[in-house]
Chain A
């Protein structure tokens, strides 16, 4: 029995142009499309491929969020996960709290691999996987673009600023995904029907016995500074002239 735990966060869909609420209390989410964080979808796809190639026997998708997050977990089940766990929380949790939640679930499920997205496209924090690996005292291979498993170890190619870096880690370990790891599969209609029968357990966040309060206070949200309206030029000569005027050529 070897299990893979996959984190799925419910976020504003990546195609939505996010707007700040006029009172600065947050961003507009009413009536806006919500989806699985794209990096998490890649994490799930990778877990499914590992299982399909015999590297694992069970894929469990986990989310921390409000009751509506069941939608994203059902999508995860339709993609092929075996079961789902929703850790129900009424407000967003900070990455350190999320890592502590995962650690609790790890104690119970004893996975050999935990796959998370490298960042969630709402808070853009890029922290949870690294924090979890620290608390679990296990290796982390972040920003993975290739994962090869062999004999209790994994060779992981990582996308770093300098290019590609390969490291080897002992399992169990935490992997966080980058965009080029894989292309997630599409969900088929019959799978959506099947997913309805798969188990989805709900656990209340405050029953886990961890400190759930955040440490940072968000005082306000603002729209970013807008750039000044530019000019359109007709041809290369005008472009060169405009660049000259700015002292750029």
Chain B
């Protein structure tokens, strides 16, 4: 019997959309029983959101003041304890899941599979390597617990309409778990508001090095607002200080799958392309007709972005 535990990611009382995508990945395993575990100081609202996801059997809550912030060292022993009765433990391959799940796996004495992009069976999966330039099919042993992260961009979020039971698992979690105090939360930059979140936005406009300054980068925000889009950036734009680090798209930034991706003044380095391969439609605006971004673009326009972007904004009304 395949029993899958999904570790919920949440912030500010809201379940992260990546959790619903992990559920979809888990439902691709035939006959699997799927539970979600919520580790929080106050799990109430989050558990209710998790319980509403279709396909989920049970939501386990572990409420502890120490769980107020998602510190991997604090959460991992509790996750490992709750995982005892499961064959699979999944988390999203967001920075939360990437930080936490390998620590959980090591505590359980097993390896971990990163970035599941497709399910072939309960123990056979596909995942990208070499910045997505190769896809491997990997088989995990059936006699070991399988700990894995799920590449969120590869799955649609599970539908709502479920009504899973909510239970406290505080006893099993804290009985077995020795919660360390050697790691302490200090602060987090305030979340940007008022614009669609890059990871879930259905449209994204990204700017690259060509923007030349933080001030010029504002035209990217302007175009994004017209399109009701989230904003992304290349590494070069982030490194140069034109855009905030959480906007980086690519191998080492965010992997996204919007309906529309508009790359402005971005050359299309492999490391950037790996973050946008799942976009439905890619539009590229670049003054260099030879730029590699045009090899993946569905619609390409060669020209000066400082002329094109204002024109485009105007034409969009």
The answer to the question of B106 belonging to the interface, with a C-beta cut-off of 8 Å to chain A, is yes
Which listed residue (A17, A27, A145, A166) contacts B270, Cβ 8 A? A17
Q: Contact between A164 and B189 (Cβ–Cβ < 8 Å)?
A: yes
B77 closest partner in A (C-beta) = A134
Q: Contact between B294 and A166 (Cβ–Cβ < 8 Å)?
A: no
The answer to the question of A212 belonging to the interface, with a C-beta cut-off of 8 Å to chain B, is no
Q: Contact between A231 and B300 (Cβ–Cβ < 8 Å)?
A: yes
| Chain B 196-215: CB-based contact to A (< 8 A → 1; otherwise 0) | 00010001000000000000
With both chains docked as a complex, state the minimum distance between the C-beta of A39 and any C-beta of chain B, in angstroms. Answer: 8
With both chains docked as a complex, state the minimum distance between the C-beta of B254 and any C-beta of chain A, in angstroms. Answer: 7
With A12-B130, A18-B133, A143-B95: A162-B139 Cβ-Cβ less than 8 Å: no
Bound-state Cα–Cα, A135 to B80, Å: 13
Bound-state Cα–Cα, A128 to B251, Å: 18
Q: Contact between A165 and B188 (Cβ–Cβ < 8 Å)?
A: yes
Q: Name the A residues within 8 Å of B277 (CB-CB).
A: 224, 227
Bound-state Cα–Cα, A248 to B260, Å: 7
A135 closest partner in B (C-beta) = B106
A137 closest partner in B (C-beta) = B180
The answer to the question of B54 belonging to the interface, with a C-beta cut-off of 8 Å to chain A, is no
The answer to the question of A196 belonging to the interface, with a C-beta cut-off of 8 Å to chain B, is no
| Chain A 95-134: CB-based contact to B (< 8 A → 1; otherwise 0) | 1100100000000000000000011011111111111111
With A167-B183, A221-B136: A134-B188 Cβ-Cβ less than 8 Å: no
B313 closest partner in A (C-beta) = A236
Q: Name the A residues within 8 Å of B189 (CB-CB).
A: 162-165
Q: Name the B residues within 8 Å of A215 (CB-CB).
A: 110-111, 140-141, 144
With both chains docked as a complex, state the minimum distance between the C-beta of A123 and any C-beta of chain B, in angstroms. Answer: 5
Instruction: List residues of A (142-189) whose CB comes within 8 Å of B's CBs.
Output: 142-143, 145, 155, 158-170, 173, 178-180
The answer to the question of B20 belonging to the interface, with a C-beta cut-off of 8 Å to chain A, is no
Q: Which of B21-29, B60-68, B239-247 contacts A (4 or more CB under 8 A)?
A: B239-247
The answer to the question of B165 belonging to the interface, with a C-beta cut-off of 8 Å to chain A, is no
What are the nearest 10 A-B pairs in CB distance? A134-B106, A163-B189, A130-B102, A127-B102, A131-B106, A230-B298, A166-B186, A18-B133, A18-B130, A160-B95
The answer to the question of B301 belonging to the interface, with a C-beta cut-off of 8 Å to chain A, is yes
Q: How large is the interface on A (under 10, 10 to 19, 20 to 34, 35 or more residues)?
A: 35 or more
A39 closest partner in B (C-beta) = B252
With A216-B111, A248-B260: A99-B106 Cβ-Cβ less than 8 Å: yes
Which listed residue (B134, B300, B303) contacts A20, Cβ 8 A? B134
The answer to the question of A243 belonging to the interface, with a C-beta cut-off of 8 Å to chain B, is yes
Q: Contact between A239 and B72 (Cβ–Cβ < 8 Å)?
A: no
Bound-state Cα–Cα, A129 to B100, Å: 11
The 10 sampled A-B contact pairs (Cβ below 8 Å) are A18-B133, A95-B102, A124-B131, A137-B180, A139-B73, A167-B186, A221-B136, A222-B134, A231-B299, A239-B301
Instruction: List residues of B (98-141) whose CB comes within 8 Å of A's CBs.
Output: 98-107, 110-115, 124, 128-141
Q: Name the A residues within 8 Å of B113 (CB-CB).
A: 216
Q: Contact between B129 and A123 (Cβ–Cβ < 8 Å)?
A: yes
Which listed residue (A133, A235, A239) contacts B299, Cβ 8 A? A239
Q: Contact between B114 and A124 (Cβ–Cβ < 8 Å)?
A: yes
The answer to the question of B15 belonging to the interface, with a C-beta cut-off of 8 Å to chain A, is no
| Chain B 142-176: CB-based contact to A (< 8 A → 1; otherwise 0) | 00100000000000000000000000000000000
With A162-B11, A170-B182: A121-B141 Cβ-Cβ less than 8 Å: no
Which listed residue (A130, A133, A220) contacts B136, Cβ 8 A? A220
Q: Contact between B72 and A142 (Cβ–Cβ < 8 Å)?
A: yes
Q: Contact between A126 and B111 (Cβ–Cβ < 8 Å)?
A: no
Bound-state Cα–Cα, A137 to B235, Å: 34
A160 closest partner in B (C-beta) = B95
Bound-state Cα–Cα, A92 to B301, Å: 43
Q: Contact between A239 and B111 (Cβ–Cβ < 8 Å)?
A: no
Bound-state Cα–Cα, A140 to B252, Å: 19
Q: Contact between B301 and A163 (Cβ–Cβ < 8 Å)?
A: no
Q: Name the B residues within 8 Å of A214 (CB-CB).
A: 111
The answer to the question of A202 belonging to the interface, with a C-beta cut-off of 8 Å to chain B, is no
With both chains docked as a complex, state the minimum distance between the C-beta of A240 and any C-beta of chain B, in angstroms. Answer: 5
Q: Name the B residues within 8 Å of A158 (CB-CB).
A: 95
With A124-B114, A124-B128, A124-B131: A167-B138 Cβ-Cβ less than 8 Å: no
Q: Contact between A217 and B139 (Cβ–Cβ < 8 Å)?
A: yes
Q: Name the B residues within 8 Å of A165 (CB-CB).
A: 185, 187-189
Bound-state Cα–Cα, A162 to B128, Å: 24
